[in-house]
Structure 1
Amino acid sequence: MQIYVNDQELDAELTDERNLEDVYNAVSDWISQHRRYILGLRVNEEEVALSSLKSLETDAVRRLDFYVGDELDMVLTTVDELDRYVDQIGSTLYELDSLNANDIGNLQEGVQWIQQIMSSFSTIMNMDLSAMSVLVPGSQGKEAIDRIMQRLESRAAQFNNQNDRAAIESFLDDLRSFKF
């Protein structure tokens, strides 16, 4: 198997790695020593989900491409991903009049993911959100984000009781706060 990092072939041999999850973890450990992060991955020139790596044996793979970057690259990639997520969810919700149980669960997971993104963003950028002023009068960055996150969590949980167009619109209004 050929392993590439940012289109440069690695001169390395596999030792105990049996599947792509093992290879991924080894590369991740190696690049993290240099304060770099895996931003993307392609197997045989196709994008794959991280969850499928364990089931892919190294013998079955011809080429493995890693795309890595520094902290700023990671932040920019993640912010772009958040922006696409907000667009995708917004477009989907805009077309619905009500949500099923699976939709509600997915929204609740999405809210948790947004919370993780914001937390990681502030940590990587060394930003104290509570020291930032935002356009909401009398608010600091952390307060405003926390307030929006609480409303998103609350509204996602309330879909079990109030599952109509008005509830969806309220959720979308808060979700748009994370549009970049």
Structure 2
Amino acid sequence: MLIFVNDHKLDINLEKEKTVGEVYQGVSKWVETNGKYVVSCFADGKDYGTSEMGELGFHDVKRLDFIIGEEIDVLQSSLEELDRYVDSIGSTLIGRDSLTENETRDLSEGIIWIDSILSSAKKLLKLKLNTIRPMGKGKNVEEILETLHKTVTHLESVTAIDTFLEDLRDLKLFILDLRNRTAILDLDNDKLLDIVKEYTFNLDKIKSEFRQINENFQSGKDHIGSEFLSNSVNKLNTLLTALISLRNSYPHLNLETVKVGDQELASFNKGMNECLSHIALALEKGDIVLAGDILEYELPELLDGFHPFLERIIELVETPVS
């Protein structure tokens, strides 16, 4: 059997392995010791599951191809698959009033898998799931997952299934946000800088969007306001993630210490995150007036203060090193 890793032939002697599954386990352990992971594996060009590989005899396969990636590559692939899976749950359950025993078992296992992927994202991206509310108010991600675990075995009415799907839709927003964040981490420096430039140019538009969110809340359109809020916060997260990636790419620039007046960027970012947390907390308590005041006045003022930081960062990154 020929073994290839990312199209490079692997010079290895196989003596104890009797099945393709055993070869897969051995190679997986080897690449993990080098800080990498198996993204996918093909036996004679066919993508097999790990359980199926255990049934394939060592001499039944001529060529085994391993696609190896960094930890972030595995997460990106998993989030893409997770997004498709959540969509499939929705299309399967909508309009139903009950599930079969097999469907309940499969869905229970699926929720466990969803939880495991999001736990991996939490560790890799250093997220606090108990502070992230996909809809701006209501349940945080940890609470959504707990509810899904508790209710998945009791979907015995249209109402129960509809409530389950509502939680799943909220989780879908979070998954989309994660996909956006991880996609940025994989971009080259020029594209990251383009993102920062684009958001810098459109900062007034983002300010206007936050004010429109307040108008929706004040007119009783809470659901629309929550969706718009989630979308606008995701834009800020995209910008902040791009800045973090640039900081990591240009450590000699010390971007976190960039100053405007007496304030450093790190301190400013902390104030921005606190402001967003105050909005979420106000909405959770149903205090539309307080949330509206922050959206109408405090957050736009912060965004005004963000503009000179962004301009300075663009200037530093574009200035050739002498």
TM over 0.5: yes
Corresponding residue for 2:7?
7
Matched, 1:152 2:145: no
Distance in 1, matches of 2:71 and 2:170, equals 24
Question: Aligned partners of 2:134 and 2:169: how far apart in 1?
Answer: 15
Distance in 1 (CA, whole Å) between partners of 2:131 and 2:167 is 20
The TM-score, its normalising length taken from structure 2, stands at 0.50
User: In the alignment, is the contact (CA less than 8 A) between 2:134 and 2:170 conserved in 1?
Assistant: no
Match of 1:172 among 149, 155, 165: 165
1:148 to partner: Cα distance: 0.2
Distance in 2 (alpha carbons) for counterparts of 1:178 and 1:49: 27
The separation in 2 between residues aligned to 1:147 and 1:134, in whole angstroms, is: 9
Counterpart in 1 of 2:25? 25
Return the alpha-carbon distance in structure 1 between the equivalents of residues 89 and 15 of structure 2.
42
Instruction: Name the CA distance, whole Å, in 1 between partners of 2:130 and 2:95.
Output: 38
> What is the distance in 1 between the residues matched to 2:60 and 2:96?
42
Confirm whether residue 59 of structure 1 aligns to residue 55 of structure 2.
no
Change (3 A) 1:131 1:177: closer
Displacement after TM superposition at 1:49 (Å):
1.1
* Cα distance, 1:130 vs structure 2: 5.4
Q: Which amino acid aligns with 1:58?
A: F
Deviation track 1:59-97 (CA, whole Å, cap 9, x = no partner) reads: 110111111100110110111111011011111112534
Aligned CA distance change for structure 1 residues 9 and 95 (closer, same or farther; 3 Å): farther
Identify the residue that residue 128 of structure 2 maps to in structure 1: 129
Amino acid in structure 2 at the alignment position of 1:81: E
**Contact 1:83–1:178 (8 Å) recurs in 2:** no
Aligned length: 173
For residues 23 and 122 of structure 1, do their structure 2 counterparts lie closer, same or farther at Cα, with a shift above 3 Å needed? same
What one-letter code is carried by the residue in structure 2 that aligns with 1:167? A
Q: Which has the higher helix share?
A: 2
Deviation per residue, 1:104-128 (Å, 9 max, x gap): 1111111111111111111223x14
1:130-156: CA deviations, max 9, x gaps? 5855455578xxx71221012112221
In structure 2, C-alpha distance between the alignment counterparts of 1:65 and 1:78, rounded to whole Å: 19
User: Which fold has the larger relative contact order, with Cα–Cα distance below 8 Å and residues 6 or more apart in sequence?
Assistant: 1
Question: Which has the greater radius of gyration?
Answer: 2
Q: Which residue of 1 is the match for residue 268 of structure 2? A: none
What percentage of residue pairs aligned between the two structures are identical? Answer: 34
Q: Report SS of the residue matched to 1:96.
A: coil
Paired residues of 2:122 and 2:129 also in contact (CA < 8 A): no
Name the CA shift for 1:102/1:48 in 2 (closer, same or farther; >3 Å): same
TM-score, length-scaled by structure 1 = 0.86
Alpha-carbon distance between aligned partners in 1 of 2:48 and 2:116, rounded to the nearest angstrom: 22
RMSD: 2.0
| CA distance in structure 1 between the partners assigned to 2:4 and 2:171 by the alignment | 34
Are 2:103 and 1:107 equivalent residues in the alignment? no
Q: Is the 8 A contact 1:22 1:54 kept in 2?
A: yes
Helix, strand or coil for the counterpart of 1:157? coil
Where structure 2 has 5 or more consecutive residues not aligned to the other structure, the ranges are 177-322
* SS of residue matched to 2:96: coil
The answer for the alignment partner of 2:94 in structure 1 is 94
